[in-house]
Amino acid sequence: MHILEWILKTGQALPGMLFTLPMPVLLGILALPLFVATFSRSGLGIAGTGILTVATLVLLARETGPGDGSGLALLAYAGALIVALNGFEATDRRRNLAAQIEEIEQFQKDTRAFLDALDRRAHIVDGNAIKGAEMTVSGEGTGDDARPAT
């Protein structure tokens, strides 16, 4: 229960602390999600983070004082951080999908090569079977009455 009380107190005090920060520090904190999103190299993550960061900046600029409902701006900032971090997961998922597609393509090539080899072997076996049948029909087979020439 103590943790919940601490979170509530911090949530209430945080908007007041934001207005005491110098403007370059505040802009640096606001740019943090965009900085994180650029490392994820996810276009959708960067765009979503940018929109939420701009929304945070607009909501903070609209506020007149620390007790003026800065909670929405903090929620937009938290959303920007979540979207930025989700970009890493999306990039990782895209890499895994590319690796799986590559493995499937290699499996298809191996399967095709195996089936081609099996087809060639079947043609050879069929050819030898036809030659063996021709030899048996023409009397050149391996009958019991065949006698070696002396």
The domain spans of the chain are 2-137
71 to 20, 66, 68, 83, 139: CA distances (angstroms): 16, 10, 9, 18, 100
pTM of the complete model beyond 0.75: no
Give 63-103 as a 3 state SS string: CCCCCCCCHHHHHHHHHHHHHHHHHHHHHHHHHHHHHHHHH
pLDDT classification of 45: cutoffs 50, 70, 90? confident
Q: Give tens-digit pLDDT for 57-68.
A: 777 777 655 555
Q: Give tens-digit pLDDT for 75-87.
A: 888 888 888 888 8
Say whether pLDDT at 144 is over 70.
no
Q: Could you give the percent of the chain with pLDDT greater than 70? A: 74
